Amino acid sequence: MPVMTYLEAIKDGIRHEMRRDPNVFVIGEDVGGYGGAFKVTQGLIDEFGEDRVMDTPLAETGFVGAAIGAAYMGFRPVVEMQFIDFIACAFNQITNMAAKSHYRWGQQCPLVIRGPSGGGVSGGPYHSQSPESYFVHTAGLKVVMPATAADAKGLIIASIRDNNPVIYLEHKFLYRRVKDDVPGGEFVVPLGKARLAREGRHISVITWGAMVHTALDAAGQLEKDGVSLEIIDLRSLVPWDKEMVLASVKKTGKVIVLHEAPHTGGFGGEVSSYITEHAFSWLDGPVRRISALDTPAPYSPPLEQAYLPQAHDIVRVSRELAAF
Amino acid sequence: MLLDSHTARAWYRQMRLIRVFEERAAQEYAKGHIGGFCHLYIGQEAVAVGAFAALQPQDHIITHYREHGHAIARGMDINGVMAELFGKATGVTGGRGGSMHLVDKDLHFWGGHAIVGGHLPIATGIAFGLKQQGGDGVVLCIFGDGASNIGMFHESLNLAAVWKLPVIFLCENNRYGMGTAVARASAVTNIRDKAQAYNIPGTDVDGQDPEAVYETMQNAVSHARAGKGPVLVEAETYRFVGHSMGDPERYRTKEERKEWQDHGDPINRFRRSLEERAIVTAEEFAGMDAEVDQQVEAAARFAHESPFPAGETLHRHIYVESAGGQP
Ligand SMILES: Cc1ncc(C[n+]2csc(CCOP(=O)(O)OP(=O)(O)O)c2C)c(N)n1
Ligand SMILES: [Mg+2]
């Protein structure tokens, strides 16, 4: 199996779909000759030309709206936000137009909006955010957050094939740091199926995106203390794999919900509440949540470290839970 | 233009300070002392220096993320700016914002904004405030050519014109928005012409010549200050470096860039012109160059020696902590 970085895997998936389906096209700022700010789309223009790898003016509302219209016409646009933070500029088009067209008149809108999210690179307040909560709260949208290279490919393909608008949140810290075996050619990871990232006995850690790796790191440290973490990588938040989560919770009886986005209103609250509603009698302790702080993402490295959840936070909370 | 020696020296010194400051920032970035995304202004210095010379202390400035030069031209303390780039506690926002978000409220410098176009509507609000409060201050709102394609630009120009606000929209047309040449992104390639759609006077100026920028801006500022409404000034300029650090610059030729560097370097050009006109002597230039080098060296030292902010300070800045409202 070819080894690819997370970034290459995303591109491999997009390329695969562009070859398979002439209605798939890429659109965004400097996605063509420049190859995108992080080079996710580099080289696609050479194979598919300017009509299918379209550079846009700096106009998020405009080009997201145009992609929605093209999706109505039967195309399958893959829109790049240069940084996911700029998706706020297209919020109306996404939440009011794309999300509701099927509800209002049965109009499908097969659209993917993807881009680099997340922190850890000193991006500061406008280049580090994890905006999944804004979108999980809007019915009609699906939300995907891959953690591994293989999933990055399998999920982008599933997202492109999905007949609904999908927000696909890549993690910029993982782009070149995560590298794994990725099946070549056709490879689909269905939305709504979580992945057991690590089997364990004592505590279920429910997480997604870059935090999967932070949790694995913590699990390694805790193994020595005899605390065994089971790590579930949700992979997609809408829909999310309630079955796998409940099965794990019923096995371990203790849960940490972990995410990189800030605490209040974070999707962790949803997961946590679902677990207490549906598996209360299996719980041997409170469902604990670990997240970023309720502040904007700071620029300065020590501030950003304090802001983002770290492996030592998971270790600390796991010990507390284990002793509960 | 008749330039006195005092002003000429001040402008030269400021342009060179911006240049040397940024060259140092690039070095510190390469060494890992500055992180994140850092956009240099090298090549565009005459725009900031000429434009800010036309402003008064009561005027306000709001700008985008390529703003080290604007901050320095407004007179911000370069120690605090360098420390901010380093993410240090002594930085102008204590390390919370970094390169793209320099602010100095005392100087009415509302600072850099990283969401392209996001600050243009805010400029109209500040101008509205100034107008309602009855002073004679104006707002200078700076952005790039790329920003003129986003809806917020158009909404803001219209608002400013309808409300006759004292705003000068200064577009630094450096020919590219990241890797996209103006003509590939904008149906109207002279940004100044977009002002016509909103009944706003639009002019252009050679952005490599601080005297020309100053004169054009003087007119624009007088217009706005006199209550005649907004103006759009398009400064034709060029960035000599990549969009941000690590841009391979495949969207333009080396020859094109070299042409601008050889013939359009605002600092060399200004210096030559001052020498030819015998306004500033070689000795004075040498003295200023040495001073600037020392000043930047000291700023870098200050940044290196400053402490990082403590993680616990993070919560402190989210909300206003005093009780709100009028008594
Ligand atoms: C809303 C938004 N979209 C995209 C970006 C990414 N981006 C940052 S700068 C830039 C180019 C802006 O070009 P221009 O306005 O000409 O300014 P310049 O960088 O040339 O000074 C882009 C696309 C952003 N910061 N904000
Ligand atoms: Mg530009």
Task: Give B91-126 as a DSSP string.
Answer: STTTTSS-TT---BGGGTB----SSTTTHHHHHHHH
Domain boundary among A181, A211, A234: A181
Residue A309 binned pLDDT confidence (cut-offs 50, 70, 90): very high
- How confident is the model at residue B292, as a pLDDT? 98
Same domain for A137 and A203? no
Same domain for A204 and A291? yes
Q: Measured in whole angstroms, how far is the alpha carbon of residue A213 from the centre of its chain?
A: 13
A171 occurs within a structural domain:
yes
DSSP structure class, residue B195:
G
Q: Contact B153/B117 with Cβ under 8 angstroms?
A: yes
Distance in Å, CA B104 to ligand 1 centroid? 23
**CB atoms B147 and A34 under 8 Å:** no
Q: B210-225 and B266-276 helices cross at what angle (nearest 10)?
A: 100
Which residues on chain A are in Cβ contact (under 8 Å) with B36? 121-124, 127, 299
**CB atoms A34 and B87 under 8 Å:** no
Residue A148 makes CB contacts below 8 A (sequence gap 6+) with: A6, A178, A180, A195, A212, A233
Paired residues of A233 in beta bridges: A195, A207
- How confident is the model at residue B327, as a pLDDT? 55
Q: Measured in whole angstroms, how far is the alpha carbon of residue B205 from the centre of its chain?
A: 16
* Domain tally, chain A: 2
3-state secondary structure A82-105: CCHHHHHHHHHHHHHHHHHHHHHH
Q: How big is chain B by its Cα radius of gyration, in Å? A: 20
Q: Which domain holds residue A88?
A: 3-181
Residue A210 makes CB contacts below 8 A (sequence gap 6+) with: A118, A120, A147, A171, A173, A174, A260
Q: Contact B19/B239 with Cβ under 8 angstroms?
A: no
* Domain tally, chain B: 1
**Residue B310 at interface with chain A, using a CB cutoff of 8 Å:** yes
A188 occurs within a structural domain:
no
Question: Smallest Cβ distance to B178: which of A34, A61, A125?
Answer: A34
Same domain for A18 and A143? yes
DSSP structure class, residue A215:
H
- How confident is the model at residue B291, as a pLDDT? 98
DSSP, collapsed to helix, strand or coil, labels residue A164 as coil
Sign of the C-alpha dihedral computed for residues A270, A273, A274 and A279 taken in this order:
positive
DSSP, collapsed to helix, strand or coil, labels residue A207 as strand
> Which residues of A touch chain B, with CB atoms under 8 Å apart?
29-30, 33-34, 37, 55-62, 85-86, 88-89, 121-127, 293-296, 298-303, 305-307
Q: pLDDT tens digits, residue range A232-253? A: 999 999 999 999 999 999 999 9
Q: pLDDT tens digits, residue range B32-57? A: 999 999 999 999 999 999 999 999 99
**CB atoms B98 and A61 under 8 Å:** no
Sign of the C-alpha dihedral computed for residues B268, B270, B273 and B279 taken in this order:
negative
Q: Which domain holds residue B195?
A: 5-303
CATH of the domain at B272: 3.40.50.970
**CB atoms B180 and A55 under 8 Å:** yes
**Mean pLDDT of the residues in chain A:** 98
Task: Name the active-site residue from A16, A102, A127, A137.
Answer: A127
- How confident is the model at residue B326, as a pLDDT? 61
**Residue B32 at interface with chain A, using a CB cutoff of 8 Å:** no
Residue ranges of chain B whose pLDDT lies below 70? 325-327
Same domain for A276 and A308? yes
Which residues on chain B are in Cβ contact (under 8 Å) with A126? 100, 114-115
Distance in Å, CA B316 to ligand 1 centroid? 30
CATH of the domain at A248: 3.40.50.920
Distance in Å, CA B114 to ligand 2 centroid? 14
B325 occurs within a structural domain:
no
User: What length does chain A have?
Assistant: 324
Same domain for A27 and A175? yes
Q: Contact B302/B79 with Cβ under 8 angstroms?
A: yes
How many pairs of residues across A and B have Cβ atoms under 8 Å apart? 130
CATH of the domain at A16: 3.40.50.970
Which residues on chain A are in Cβ contact (under 8 Å) with B35? 121-122, 299, 301
Same domain for A163 and A272? no
**CB atoms A58 and B185 under 8 Å:** yes
- How confident is the model at residue B314, as a pLDDT? 87
B84 occurs within a structural domain:
yes
Q: pLDDT tens digits, residue range B223-252? A: 999 999 999 999 999 999 999 998 999 999
**CB atoms B146 and A58 under 8 Å:** yes
Max CA pair span of chain A: 60
Cα–Cα distance measured from residue A205 to residue A200, given in angstroms and rounded to the nearest whole number: 10
- How confident is the model at residue B312, as a pLDDT? 83
Same domain for A173 and A44? yes
- Torsion region of A235: left, alpha or beta (phi above 0 gives left; psi -120 to 50 gives alpha): left
B298 occurs within a structural domain:
yes
Domain boundary among A151, A181, A211: A181
> Distance from B297 to chain A by nearest Cα, in Å?
22
Question: Smallest Cβ distance to A126: which of B114, B146, B251?
Answer: B114
Same domain for A161 and A134? yes
- How confident is the model at residue A289, as a pLDDT? 98
**Residue B307 at interface with chain A, using a CB cutoff of 8 Å:** no
Same domain for A24 and A145? yes
Q: What does pTM read for this prediction?
A: 0.97
Helix (H) or strand (E) holding A216: helix A211-223
Which residues on chain B are in Cβ contact (under 8 Å) with A30? 178-180
C-alpha angle A116/B147/A132, rounded to 5°? 25
**CB atoms B96 and A298 under 8 Å:** yes
Distance in Å, CA B132 to ligand 1 centroid? 32
DSSP structure class, residue B271:
H
Same domain for A175 and A201? no
Paired residues of A294 in beta bridges: none
B11 occurs within a structural domain:
yes
Tokens representing residue B240 in the block: 């000599």
A314 occurs within a structural domain:
yes
- How confident is the model at residue B1, as a pLDDT? 74
Q: pLDDT tens digits, residue range B109-142? A: 999 999 999 999 999 999 999 999 999 999 999 9
- β-strand A142-144 against A166-171: which pairing, if any? parallel
A189 occurs within a structural domain:
no
Same domain for A176 and A293? no
Question: Smallest Cβ distance to A305: which of B96, B100, B311?
Answer: B311
- How confident is the model at residue B154, as a pLDDT? 98
Cα–Cα distance measured from residue A260 to residue B286, given in angstroms and rounded to the nearest whole number: 52
Residue A280 makes CB contacts below 8 A (sequence gap 6+) with: none
Which residues on chain B are in Cβ contact (under 8 Å) with A86? 115-116
Question: Smallest Cβ distance to B314: which of A34, A123, A303?
Answer: A303
- How confident is the model at residue A31, as a pLDDT? 98
**CB atoms A33 and B309 under 8 Å:** no
**Residue B246 at interface with chain A, using a CB cutoff of 8 Å:** no
**Residue B142 at interface with chain A, using a CB cutoff of 8 Å:** no
B316 occurs within a structural domain:
no
Mutation to probe ligand 1, out of B39, B64, B116, B186 (largest number of atoms < 8 A from CB)? B116
B293 occurs within a structural domain:
yes
B112 occurs within a structural domain:
yes
Question: Smallest Cβ distance to B95: which of A34, A37, A299?
Answer: A299
- How confident is the model at residue A320, as a pLDDT? 97
B255 occurs within a structural domain:
yes
Mutation to probe ligand 1, out of B141, B178, B249 (largest number of atoms < 8 A from CB)? B178
- Does A213 qualify as catalytic in the annotation? no
Listed in sequence order, the DSSP H helices in chain B are: 5-30, 45-53, 68-73, 78-85, 119-133, 151-162, 182-185, 210-225, 254-264, 266-276, 282-305
Which residues on chain A are in Cβ contact (under 8 Å) with B146? 57-58
**Residue B313 at interface with chain A, using a CB cutoff of 8 Å:** yes
Amino acid at B251: Y
Q: What mean pLDDT do residues A74-91 have?
A: 98
Domain boundary among A181, A216, A231: A181
**CB atoms A125 and B97 under 8 Å:** yes
